[in-house]
Chains A and B, each alone.
Chain A
Amino acid sequence: MAETFHDFVVQRSAALSRRAYLLTGDHQLAEDLLQNALARTYRHWRRITDPEAYVRRAMYHQQVTWWRRRRLVERLESEPTEQPGDDHSDTTALRLTLAAALRQLTARQRAVVVLRFYEDLTEAQVAEVLGCSVGTVKRHGYDAIRRLRAIAPDLVDRTTERSAR
């Protein structure tokens, strides 16, 4: 564990930023999310034994809360603004495709996808982080994959897609 809050942020901000971006699909929102989660962590720093887990949990819960507040507005928006273009690099194109696809998921579904397939947590660990049952994690995960297949088939294995059908 880092000795000070400053050391912790210096050492872990890159990893935390990536996680925040995947959760929000937007750099600005990701920065806000990380900033708030770190602020909350700082306020309870002396009592926290595992800051990494605390920030992660704070980010996921904050994201779900924000999503609830913003979903009405999001529903009123038109199609995702970021679209892959011919002049982008492959990585950028993939990031934009992924961001657009993730935006079509609910906050819980997005959280489950990131926790399961980016952080490689088990379903039980995901349930613990999100504070829900394993069954809920399974349902959100299933719904998320099915939705991603429909939105962006290239992001998931074609063989799996075919066999699933």
Chain B
Amino acid sequence: MTSRLRDSLRTAASDVPAYPVYEKALATARRSRRRTALAAMAALVLTALAGALLPATGSSVPAAGTDAALPDRVGVPPRGSLHATDRPRIGPSSVIFTGRADGMEWANEHSIIAIVGADSDRYRIIKGEADTRAGANTVLSPDGRQIAFSELDSTGPRVRIVDLATGDSRTVDSGIPNTVQVVPVAWSPDGRTLVLRDTLPPNDDALSIVTLDGERIRLAEAGEPGSPVAFSPDGARLAFQSGRNVSVVDLAGRRLSSFTLPPETELAGKGAWSADGRTLTMTRHEGMRWSLRRVDPTTGRDLGALDVPAVSGVTAIRLLGWSADGSARVVAYQPAATAEVRFDIFLEMEQRLAYANVSTVQVLALGRGAGTPTTLLTAPQGVIAIDVADNVIRGGQVRHANPPTAFGPRFWLWTGLITVLLVGIVLYRTREKLALWLDDQRVSRRQAAD
């Protein structure tokens, strides 16, 4: 019944010439191959870039830097900085710091922990909890390779430890039930033991010694909130302040000694033990002038002032440790102009280090016999807490630093991906017009060639 249509089709097709398309088909195929190869290469490059920059875990371990040094200044990490677990791994760190400067906080006033590479101005960040203070409740291991910080989620509080060389992380806790918050306050010299402080309801604290192997010992004394815990250089003893008392205990939690501090005197910091482990260092302040004194760790007997310069005009100082040349390394807390408290009278250490009362921090060298402190590291306004790896303190090296500015790799990665996505969407939505335009171009080229 459609024979006429069949005939019509065959008749109409009968005088159609054979189109001379052989050469053109070959040219089209070769052009198409070139485009496919280029697209594949571009995809390969993008994939390689993404693989290098996107967060991922891996087993490559950067070598520990032999040139670990204190940067002479630190800067607020650029927006879009890589995270501590991103590739490439940063490896051991020299300095970590926290604060309330623009770019140092994220959602709902949570803190960003800034991490500086051991021997270069590579920066990484960790998004921490609110009121995170480097050196007080967020601590860098002695070799600068691990950071311990508090973490709080729906399953409860714990301490997370991130290995900066591998990107691996793990959690530890004190095992104390009903704890409201647990923070790390000190690393042992071998980096295998942490001291944790639990906040217990209604208004109590507890210190625990926790090994990374899982052993946990709760100490009898609570420890003073805001006060440092100092491991002896051999790692066998630790000293901490509880009220006006200083206690020295061994790693089994046995009390070795305890003594009462005179007024205006505090345990100096994580570097309070002398290098030989025979004396403890205390800070004493007169008004806003702070100096260092030695005491006997067994009896608390004052052994006299150290032959290092005093630090004036600060809310407090904390002793980080001793460098190879015998000079002390301290953090000096500069008072905030807007502070609503006086620092030249009695004030709890926690208040002296509080966010609202500190404008910035400096790391100072207090040389033996020197007349004045030497400023080794400066930080922007709003950086109010800092911790330095023990090996950097001991090595005593300071390097000229040039902190990164503008935007970090994550910003550019996401900007690039979003741009590619938007261009893809635009091309997809205009594909019909684009195809017509390309067809027109092809026809025009052919007409021009003919």
In the bound complex, how far is the Cα of B9 from the Cα of A113, in angstroms? 9
- How many residues of chain A have a CB within 8 Å of chain B? 47
Whether B4 and A18, one on each chain, are in contact in the complex, defined by CB atoms closer than 8 angstroms, is no
**Complex contacts, B29 vs chain A, CB 8 Å:** 38-40, 42-43
**Complex contacts, B5 vs chain A, CB 8 Å:** 113, 117, 145, 148, 155-157
**Chain B, Cβ-Cβ closest to A37:** B25
In the bound complex, how far is the Cα of B17 from the Cα of A28, in angstroms? 12
**Complex contacts, A92 vs chain B, CB 8 Å:** 15
Flag the segment in B79-87, B106-114, B335-343, B435-443 that touches A: B435-443
Q: A13-B21, A148-B5 are in contact. Are A18 and B436 (CB under 8 A)?
A: no
Whether B21 and A35, one on each chain, are in contact in the complex, defined by CB atoms closer than 8 angstroms, is yes
Whether A17 and B26, one on each chain, are in contact in the complex, defined by CB atoms closer than 8 angstroms, is no
Of B9, B16, B17, B436, the residue contacting A117 (CB under 8 A) is: B9
Whether A13 and B11, one on each chain, are in contact in the complex, defined by CB atoms closer than 8 angstroms, is no
Give a binary string over A108-121; 1 marks a CB under 8 Å from any B CB, 0 the rest: 00000110011010
Q: Let me know if B428 is at the binding interface, CB within 8 A.
A: no
**Complex contacts, B15 vs chain A, CB 8 Å:** 91-92, 95
Least Cβ–Cβ distance between B13 and chain A, in angstroms: 4
**Complex contacts, B9 vs chain A, CB 8 Å:** 22, 98, 113-114, 117-118
- Residues of chain B in range 334-383 having any CB-CB distance to chain A below 8 Å: none
**Complex contacts, B16 vs chain A, CB 8 Å:** 17-18, 21, 27, 30
Whether B19 and A30, one on each chain, are in contact in the complex, defined by CB atoms closer than 8 angstroms, is yes
Whether A145 and B2, one on each chain, are in contact in the complex, defined by CB atoms closer than 8 angstroms, is yes
Of A9, A21, A30, A145, the residue contacting B25 (CB under 8 A) is: A9
Least Cβ–Cβ distance between B40 and chain A, in angstroms: 14
**Complex contacts, A20 vs chain B, CB 8 Å:** 19
In the bound complex, how far is the Cα of B18 from the Cα of A13, in angstroms? 6
Least Cβ–Cβ distance between A14 and chain B, in angstroms: 4
Q: Let me know if A134 is at the binding interface, CB within 8 A.
A: no
Whether A31 and B21, one on each chain, are in contact in the complex, defined by CB atoms closer than 8 angstroms, is yes
Of A19, A39, A69, A70, the residue contacting B32 (CB under 8 A) is: A39
Could you count the A-B residue pairs with CB atoms below 8 Å apart for me: how many are there?
115
Whether A34 and B19, one on each chain, are in contact in the complex, defined by CB atoms closer than 8 angstroms, is yes
Q: Let me know if B14 is at the binding interface, CB within 8 A.
A: yes
**Complex contacts, B8 vs chain A, CB 8 Å:** 94, 98, 155
Q: Is the interface of A mostly helix, strand, loop or mixed?
A: helix
- Residues of chain B in range 413-438 having any CB-CB distance to chain A below 8 Å: 431-432, 435-436
Whether B443 and A28, one on each chain, are in contact in the complex, defined by CB atoms closer than 8 angstroms, is yes
**Chain B, Cβ-Cβ closest to A18:** B13
Of A6, A14, A18, A35, the residue contacting B28 (CB under 8 A) is: A35
**Chain B, Cβ-Cβ closest to A144:** B5
Give a binary string over B13-54; 1 marks a CB under 8 Å from any A CB, 0 the rest: 111111101101110110011000000000000000000000
Least Cβ–Cβ distance between A143 and chain B, in angstroms: 14
Q: A6, A22, A38, A68: which has the most chain B beta carbons within 10 Å?
A: A38
**Chain A, Cβ-Cβ closest to B25:** A38
Q: Let me know if B10 is at the binding interface, CB within 8 A.
A: yes
In the bound complex, how far is the Cα of B436 from the Cα of A27, in angstroms? 18
In the bound complex, how far is the Cα of B431 from the Cα of A148, in angstroms? 31
Q: Let me know if A1 is at the binding interface, CB within 8 A.
A: no
Q: Let me know if B299 is at the binding interface, CB within 8 A.
A: no
Q: Let me know if A32 is at the binding interface, CB within 8 A.
A: yes
In the bound complex, how far is the Cα of B16 from the Cα of A20, in angstroms? 10
Least Cβ–Cβ distance between B34 and chain A, in angstroms: 11
Q: A6-B22, A39-B26, A160-B2 are in contact. Are A70 and B436 (CB under 8 A)?
A: yes
Q: Let me know if B6 is at the binding interface, CB within 8 A.
A: yes
Whether B443 and A95, one on each chain, are in contact in the complex, defined by CB atoms closer than 8 angstroms, is no
Q: Let me know if A36 is at the binding interface, CB within 8 A.
A: yes
Q: Let me know if B155 is at the binding interface, CB within 8 A.
A: no
Least Cβ–Cβ distance between B14 and chain A, in angstroms: 7
Q: A91-B15, A118-B13 are in contact. Are A38 and B21 (CB under 8 A)?
A: yes
In the bound complex, how far is the Cα of B13 from the Cα of A38, in angstroms? 20
- Residues of chain A in range 124-140 having any CB-CB distance to chain B below 8 Å: none
In the bound complex, how far is the Cα of B98 from the Cα of A127, in angstroms? 69
In the bound complex, how far is the Cα of B57 from the Cα of A113, in angstroms? 59
**Complex contacts, A10 vs chain B, CB 8 Å:** 22
Whether B3 and A22, one on each chain, are in contact in the complex, defined by CB atoms closer than 8 angstroms, is no
Least Cβ–Cβ distance between A52 and chain B, in angstroms: 15
In the bound complex, how far is the Cα of B4 from the Cα of A67, in angstroms? 26
Whether A21 and B22, one on each chain, are in contact in the complex, defined by CB atoms closer than 8 angstroms, is no
Q: A30-B19, A34-B19 are in contact. Are A69 and B435 (CB under 8 A)?
A: yes
Q: Let me know if B12 is at the binding interface, CB within 8 A.
A: yes
Whether A21 and B13, one on each chain, are in contact in the complex, defined by CB atoms closer than 8 angstroms, is yes
**Complex contacts, A22 vs chain B, CB 8 Å:** 9, 12-13
In the bound complex, how far is the Cα of B18 from the Cα of A39, in angstroms? 16
Q: Let me know if B448 is at the binding interface, CB within 8 A.
A: no
Q: B1, B6, B16, B431: which has the most chain A beta carbons within 10 Å?
A: B16
Q: A73-B436, A95-B12, A155-B8 are in contact. List 6 more A-B contacts (CB 8 A).
A: A9-B25, A14-B17, A35-B24, A38-B22, A39-B28, A42-B25
Residues of B within 8 A of A (CB): 1-6, 8-19, 21-22, 24-26, 28-29, 32-33, 431-432, 435-436, 439, 442-443
Sample (7) of A-B pairs whose CB atoms are under 8 Å apart: A14-B18, A18-B16, A35-B19, A38-B22, A39-B29, A43-B29, A148-B5
